[in-house]
A and B are shown apart, each in its own frame.
Chain A
Amino acid sequence: MKKFIVFISLLLVALFAFSEETITLNLVEAFSSPWRTPTLNKIIEMFETLNPGVKINVISPPYETAYQKINLMVSTEQPLDIVEIGDWNLSTLAAMGKLEDLTPYINSWPEKNDLIDGILEAASIYHNTPYLLPHGLFAKALFYRPDVLKKYGFNDYPKTMKELYDMGKKLTESGKNQYGFAFRGKGYPTSFIDAVVTSFFDDIDPNNMYLTKSGKIVFEDPRAVEALTFYVNIYKDTSPKDSINWGWDEQVNAFVSGITPLLFQDPDTTGMLNEMLKPGQYKTAPLPVGISGKAYPSFGFVGWGIPTYSKHKDLAWKFIKFVSSAEINGYWSKAYGALPILKSVYKYDSYFSSYIFEGWTKMFEDKKHYQFTQYPLDNENWGKWNEFQEKTMQQVLLGKLSVVRCLKEWTDFWKKAGIK
């Protein structure tokens, strides 16, 4: 044992002596993928060339376990200097008290003013403090297949939810295995449900998707009954029965094979679609608006944060600043499929103004019909909500729970959870 201790201390001394020359930063990814991680490695290579003496060590846990792993690593203070944080685990990490407040860094950052409007506010969901700097944005848009729609005599995409439903119904011929809408039933269907439900409202709180401007929970409003019934009808009349068990993979599989030519998805879906479909075989459009004439998309975001116990915070910020520069952010977003965080990127890189991104650019420009709002991600019960909403929604779709009862349960959930 003694020998072991001596050995360890020698090793530590050696490491310390060595670290005088190179500083190693540890970075952990939350959204790793075999197609994104190599891009990150290339960016890191550039950074290392520009900053001799700095090495960045990348940790890329498999996507489905990443949040759990990051939670465990941060809570046990494993050596980390840069942490990728998704919107859905920001509060969890921030609540631990182990994330650095980035305000002073961001305030001294010249490109701050180039940030897309509202993004910094969105990222400050927990205690109004920016614990991360976003590097990519997500928002749902409508993906459609012009080739399939044309076969059924449609030359344009649906502009309203009603049109979406009617079009989907006309397309649906279950005998031919042809359906309309790629429904999401499993694995975080939250944003799909809510995009449809809130489109029946015209007074959603811009800071909280589940509240109206008068502070009422949306699910207890009579309009919600109509809205959720409509959503159930989309499932019943325009989607395969099986889609109650569909996650991302099944949705996209059905979209690519043409079985369901209408799909709501995030921009990172374009990566795989570009590989599987020919150019022009799919297009994007703004989310259909509801009877209120409005739609309430929400920003999803992912960004970089610094753990409070990091020993190289300034260097970590230097790296974050580097990846957030217009040039790198554009390169990164293109490879990865997220929307860039800087306005200037959209201007100088024509890729982001191409037809592939039409759905999002149109939504961003049309502030009258598209009002971005936020989820109550800072609520402790947010995680539980996802499980609860998925389960109860499936019960409604299976006819085991009525729409009215379900909305009551949802209202009760949020009342108990103390929504603000």
Chain B
Amino acid sequence: MKKNKIAGKIIRIILLIIFLIFALFPLYWIVLTSLKPTYELYTFPIKYWTINPTFYGYKKLFEFVNFKQYFSNSIFVSFLASFISTIFAMLSGYVLSRKEFKGRYAVILFLFFSQMIPSYLIMVPQYVMFSNFHLINKLISIVIVYSGFGAAFSTIMAKGFFDRIPKSIEEAALIDGCNEIQSLFKITIPLMLPGLSAILSFSFVNNWNELFTAVMFLNTSNKYTVPVGLYSIVSKAGIQWNVLAAGIVVALLPTIIVFAAAQKYIIAGLTQGSLKD
């Protein structure tokens, strides 16, 4: 019996390590490439180490590619849009979880339907619509789009979280004389905070990486977001890999920070069900 447990533990550790290597290997290559001088990028035989590490890639990234500006644009857009969609999702997810009403099923189907739409089906209509509103080349336009795309998915998630919070808690509050809105904000939402941060971080990651809409709607380089900036390193005459790799590393930082900060909540937030016991 005990032997089995130890064997199980070893297998578990080995598997955990395999998963980690599989996930990390490309990251190692990206970081290494970002530190290589240009003339070492394409050397053969392949070098798994560089004796001439340089910050040239990072320097170019901030000098030529104006990455600082893209970065702050992306922070602004991603956070604002994630907040908007999370708040909207909180309201609608609550109703979908708690209320029985006509058309509820239709609303949920509608949310799933909105996930099915491929980008090129709506590209031209969206572009024409936004250009009629004079919203081309404005950061606010992609905030609106991201909020809309995020709201659907976030509502589906939020509904799931609300489903896991026992109704009895709210009912108790109602008996104590709170009205519905009060009980929502005073009782349910505090319980939902972990779940909400999970939703927020998911939409943050999605918004942070969105390329397609940003490329179409933003024109001037002072409005670009990080993915557009990264994409513009790919030119007719090639890709300067060390600069692109440096860009990917820098772009990863906020999402890794958000993941790390939220991972406690992501895991805990989705486990509200344990309250049911």
A and B touching (C-beta < 8 Å)?
A: yes
Q: Which residues of A contact B (CB under 8 A)?
A: 8, 28, 31-38, 57-65, 69, 72-73, 76, 78, 177, 248-249, 252-253, 256-259, 266, 268-269, 271-272, 275-277, 337
A275 nearest in chain B by CB position: B38
B234 / chain A contacts, CB cutoff of 8 Å: 62-64
**Residue from the list B39, B44, B136, B231 in contact with A62, Cβ < 8 A:** B231
CB distance from A150 to the nearest CB of B (A): 18
A138 nearest in chain B by CB position: B236
Q: Which residues of B contact A (CB under 8 A)?
A: 38-39, 41-44, 60, 64-65, 124, 127-128, 131, 134, 136, 215-216, 219-221, 228, 231-240, 243
A78 / chain B contacts, CB cutoff of 8 Å: 131, 136, 219
List 3 tightest A-B contacts by C-beta distance, closest first. Answer: A33-B235, A257-B44, A256-B42
B215 nearest in chain A by CB position: A65
Alpha-carbon distance A257/B235, docked complex (angstroms)? 20
The reply to whether A34 and B65 contact each other, CB–CB distance below 8 Å, is yes
The reply to whether B232 and A32 contact each other, CB–CB distance below 8 Å, is yes
The reply to whether A248 and B240 contact each other, CB–CB distance below 8 Å, is no
CB distance from A415 to the nearest CB of B (A): 30
- Number of cross-chain contacts by CB at 8 Å: 94
The reply to whether B238 and A61 contact each other, CB–CB distance below 8 Å, is no
The reply to whether A257 and B221 contact each other, CB–CB distance below 8 Å, is no
The reply to whether A36 and B131 contact each other, CB–CB distance below 8 Å, is no
B228 / chain A contacts, CB cutoff of 8 Å: 62
A267 nearest in chain B by CB position: B237
Q: Counting chain A CB atoms within 10 Å of each CB, which of B136, B234, B236 scores highest?
A: B236
Alpha-carbon distance A218/B119, docked complex (angstroms)? 40
Alpha-carbon distance A252/B60, docked complex (angstroms)? 21
Given contacts A34-B232, A35-B235, A76-B131, contact A58 B220 (CB under 8 A): yes
The reply to whether A272 and B237 contact each other, CB–CB distance below 8 Å, is yes
A76 / chain B contacts, CB cutoff of 8 Å: 127-128, 131
A57 nearest in chain B by CB position: B220
Alpha-carbon distance A275/B131, docked complex (angstroms)? 41
Alpha-carbon distance A73/B235, docked complex (angstroms)? 20
**Residue from the list B216, B220, B235 in contact with A72, Cβ < 8 A:** B216
B235 nearest in chain A by CB position: A33
The reply to whether A272 and B238 contact each other, CB–CB distance below 8 Å, is yes
**Residue from the list B127, B134, B219, B235 in contact with A63, Cβ < 8 A:** B235
**Besides A31-B235, A37-B221, A62-B231, 17 other CB < 8 A contacts?**
A32-B232, A33-B232, A33-B236, A34-B65, A35-B235, A58-B221, A62-B215, A62-B232, A62-B234, A63-B234, A65-B215, A65-B216, A72-B124, A249-B239, A271-B237, A276-B42, A277-B39
Alpha-carbon distance A269/B233, docked complex (angstroms)? 15
Given contacts A34-B60, A72-B124, contact A61 B131 (CB under 8 A): no
B43 / chain A contacts, CB cutoff of 8 Å: 257
CB distance from A296 to the nearest CB of B (A): 23
**Residue from the list B38, B216, B239 in contact with A69, Cβ < 8 A:** B216
Alpha-carbon distance A82/B43, docked complex (angstroms)? 41
The reply to whether A269 and B237 contact each other, CB–CB distance below 8 Å, is yes
